[in-house]
Every structure is written in C-alpha cells, then in structure tokens.
Amino acid sequence: MAIHERSLVEPERILRKERLVIDGVDVSGDWNLIILPRVINDYDLDFAKDVMNSPDGKTITQCYQCSYCTASCPVHNYWDERYNPRHFIYLARLGMIDELQKRADVMWRCVSCHKCTHRCPKGVLVEEVLKAILRAMAKKGLVEEYPSKKFDKFFTESVLEYGRIEDGELLFGWIEKQGYRVFKDPILKKPIPFIGETPEWLKQLTVKPLKSMNIGFLVLNAKHMLFHPRTKNWSKFKQVLRKVMQEEGALH
Amino acid sequence: MGVIGKRVAYYPGCSLEGAARSYDVSTRIVAKELGLELDYLEDYNCCGAMESKNVTFMGTMLLNARNMSLARRQGHNVIVAPCNGCSFSLQRAEYFLETDRAVYDRVNALLREGGVDPLDQIPQTYHILEWFYHEAGPQKVKERTRKPLRGLKVANYYGCLYTRPHFYARTYAHAGGQDEEARPRKRETADDDEHPYYMNALLEAAGATSVEFEPMHTQCCGGPHSLSDELVSEKFVMMILQTAKRNGADIIATECPLCHASLEMYRHRLMMKGVPDVDVPAAYFTQLLGLAFGYSVGDVKLKDNLSDPIPVLKKLGLA
Ligand code: SF4
Ligand code: SF4
C-alpha cells in the first residue's frame, strides 16, 4: 500500500512484515505495512496566534490543507521533498513546534517565487504565512542562523544605513561574512575584488569586464563602491524605521 | 491601450543605477522611441527587495510608502518599475495599504513622524513591460523598427514575480477560488498569469522569433537566494538555460535585473563545471528593442552583459 507523503513519517514508525497475523487472521500481502501510532501532548496552541497577529500571517486560518501549494512549489519538486509548505502550515496550526524545529533545516529554502500563493484556492498568502512562521520561530529562539536569514539581515542593515544598496559591496561583504578573506585597500577599507580568497568562478566573472576593456562599467562600479549611493533625506526616516523594527523584535 | 498614461513616475531601483545600468540606459532609449515619458523619482530609497520582508513587515511597508509619497509629491498616480523585485514590493505594499486599514493608518502616522508627507492616495504600480505594451504596443514597435531582429530565436524569460502572486499583480486569469467581489481590484492591463506574452509580442513585432519556453518562462531563477543558497539557484538556472538551449534559443530575453544577474552568474559557474547546454547568453528585452530601433551595441551597453551576447548577434548580422 502506498503511503502518501511518506517523507512525513519517521522511518522508525513504519513497520513492514513478511507475514502478519492479527487476531488469528492472516493479513500478509498487501496489508503488511503498519504505521505505529503515537500520542502527542507537547503542543503550543499560542504559537499560531503569534503568526495570526501579524498582517501578513493572518490568512493561515483559511488553509484547508488541499496541498495545491506543495504541488506547485519548485523547491518541493526539484530540490527536497521534505520542503512542504502545506505541512508547515499544518504543524504551525497544531502548535507542534518540535516538529517544525526538526524541519528548520529545509524551511528557509523557500525562494519566494509565490507560486504557492498564486495557486492556493483558498486565498492563503502562503509564502507570507511561511515567512511569518519562520519569524515567529526566530523570535522564540527556535531556529538557528541559517544562510538566507543571515543574508536577509545583512541586506536590511545596508538598506537601513544608506537607504540604498550597492551590488559590489553586497557581494563582497557577503563573501567576507562567509569566512573568505577579502582584501581591502588600506585607506578607504573597501574590498578589492581581484585579490583575496574569493571563489574562483566569481573571480573570473569580476575580471571579465577588465578583459573586454569595458572601462565604463568598471569605473561606474568602482565609483559606487567608493561613494556608496545613498538616499539624501534619510536620517530622520531611519530613526522611525529603526523604531518599528525594534518593536517587531527584528533589531536588538 | 492608453490605460496607464504616457507620463509616469519612474522608479529604477538600486541595481539599475549600479550593475544593471545597461537596463536603465536601454529602457530610456525604448521609452523615448515609443513616445513615452519617464519622470525619474528623486531621492528614492531601496524597496527592501525580497530580503527585508523576511526580517520586518512594517519596515518594508514604510520603505515602499516613502517612495509612493515621493511619487505623489511629483504629481503622479502611477509608478513604473523595471524590476520584478521592485514592482513586487511596491504592489505588495499597495495591497496591504488598500486592504488593511490599521496598516494604512499606522504607515501614515509613521511617515509623518519620519518627515515624509503622508499618503493622500495610494499610487498604482506597473511593471515597465506592461506599460510599454499598453501605452505603445506591438504596432508602435513595428513602426519604429529600422533593423528587424530577423533570424533571432529568443526564449522570453519573465521570472516568477512578474505575474505572481495574483493578489499583488492582479493577474487572475487562472487563479482559483476567489469570487469576483473578494478580489481587491481587477486590472485590465495585467498580463496572462500562466502564459505571459507581452514580451513575446513586443520582440516579435521587432522581427524576432520566440521559441517554446514553457514552463520555464515563469520558473524561479533562485534569485533571492543567489548569494546564500548557491546550490538551489544553480539547479534552477540550469533548468532554465537547458530548456532554452534545447528548444533552439540563440538568446534569453530578460525583464528583471535580479533574474538577469542570477542567470549570468550561474551560467558562468555551470559552464566552468562543464555542464552541457547552458551556453545561451542573456540580454534585457530593452537592449534587443534598442538594437531593432537602430541603436548600436554601444548605445544599449551590450558590453556590460557578462554572458556576452554580442557574438551571437554578430553571427546573425544584428550587431
Ligand atoms: S493551497 Fe492553500 S488551502 Fe491548499 S494546502 Fe496550500 S495553503 Fe492550504
Ligand atoms: S514561494 Fe516558497 S513555498 Fe511558495 S512555491 Fe515558491 S519556493 Fe515554494
């Protein structure tokens, strides 16, 4: 007998017997597969409230578990079937935080393509709900620093500081954060992309404009790296942004 | 046609003034040729892209509301953005401001506190492709074409957020469930949600041939993770490039600087690894239109493209 979404059942709870006799009746053959039951008593019903209380998470209540979102999700289909938006919503609503935590290593892989939201017949903002779940977990200290969360923060800090971002700084700043050694010029402390331990493929890519003598492109990017593009009337607005982010627990 | 207006607020977003300047330059060329006018949004800030929204909800509302307020100050009801990420962020803010009164009031109070005019009206956001299609259209492109892109086989890549999700982009053709009243507002300018065709139509009007590219035309490139989850991005880009190549494409046309960067970066990585059928270069659709309108390779800044589409174009006598 096939088990739907088999990846959701722990292997140790699936029993398969060659010969099986129950109450004197031989049920071998098709019926030889048993999923052991389990009793759950460690759940936290307040967890779903946390999600529901944010404007982007409140549609979680509309979900009727049809799984259309999972069926359309590229991360589920092409990457890892343990990534399952319908299931995450289910677990969040039941307050089964430990089960969510077990899946924290794939939950962050969502690429925000919004196919799930687009296809959901019940009008759930699926992607937003998933991110709200992750935020609620982060607030409780239930998820570790995973790569995309680190990057999101890194990005947002740059926006907060200057009002705008700069491609080169973002790229090389991030590479440095990943533990690579990025060479910086001694005076302005700006990264020099061609020197240092940058991954080989990226190094080649940064040298490309130099090879094709695309001076205009290089000058523009160098200029932006030296004088970070910034929004002018920013400081007062920055304070307000900082305030709301603090309220949401996104800044410490 | 003529639903959006000939003169709009232009929100280029950070990348168009940095690494994607070729998109900015070629967009201005195309707009000028089509008789449309872009009013640069002065002193704008980053929209928060796909990243900040995972960190803070209110913060991203504010970032986008500030840009909307600037547009209102310049006298506009319409903002046009050439980036899928930017137009998504603005449309997302539009959605929450329109459907959630509490969010709207709070945002306005905070704008005032931050020294920005509160919103008297919420401007509408369109992707620049929608604007080109509806204000000028294939007919106008045909009239302006001096050097048709004859023989060029194009895979038109729209990326994920151009038509999705329907709540924000208001593309409802196939989306299920919601009845008419429950939809915040329907949009007559919206492209088809599952089979977008505006870019196909414009480039075909300029003489190019579109190749079969479904379902990869709206498949995610892994963009939001391109710096933090290289493996997923690489796999998605591989699927996109191979589908294009195997269907005979000479070039991939893009309409988003994030998609474009992701495609170019990972194409390079895949080629270094020796993965087969991934060598299709990418160009912004505006660069291709610019060529068709008689501008040179230098004018549309084709040298900026790291995937180097010039040899392919040269071979066909288009550059
Ligand atoms: S598609 Fe919508 S209703 Fe169906 S399982 Fe996913 S979120 Fe729930
Ligand atoms: S937004 Fe995330 S969950 Fe939704 S379909 Fe895309 S990858 Fe899957």
Residues A56, B161: C-beta atoms closer than 8 Å = no
Given this model, what pLDDT does residue B126 score?
94
Q: How far is A165 from chain B (nearest CA, A)?
A: 6
Q: Which residue, among A52, A82, A58, has the nearest Cα to A70 in the 3D structure?
A: A82
* Lowest-confidence segment of B64-68, B162-166, B254-258 by average pLDDT: B162-166
Task: Round the average pLDDT of chain B to a whole number and report it.
Answer: 90
Interface confidence (ipTM) of the complex: 0.90
Q: How many distinct helices (H) and strands (E) make up chain A?
A: 13, 6
B297 confidence band (pLDDT: 50, 70, 90): very high
Pair of tokens at residue B200: 């196909």
Place of tokens 């280029």: B12
Spatial neighbors of A207 by CB under 8 A, at least 6 apart, are A194
Q: In whole angstroms, give the CA distance from residue A148 to residue A138.
A: 13
More confident residue, B152 or B18: B152
| pLDDT of residue A1 exceeding 50 | no
Given this model, what pLDDT does residue A193 score?
63
Rounded distance from Cα A70 to ligand 1 centre (Å)? 8
Section A30-40 average pLDDT: 78
A195 confidence band (pLDDT: 50, 70, 90): low
* Lowest-confidence segment of B49-58, B71-80, B179-188 by average pLDDT: B179-188
Given this model, what pLDDT does residue B217 score?
93
Section A192-216 average pLDDT: 74
Would an 8 Å CB–CB cutoff place A173 in contact with chain B?
no
CB neighbours of residue B70 within 10 Å: 22
Q: In whole angstroms, give the CA distance from residue A238 to residue B116.
A: 12
Q: In whole angstroms, give the CA distance from residue B146 to residue B138.
A: 14
Per cent of chain B over pLDDT 90 is 71
A85 alpha carbon, closest ligand: 2
| pLDDT of residue B290 exceeding 80 | yes
Scanning A92-111 for CB atoms below 8 A from B yields 109, 111
| CB contacts, 8 Å: B275 with chain A | none
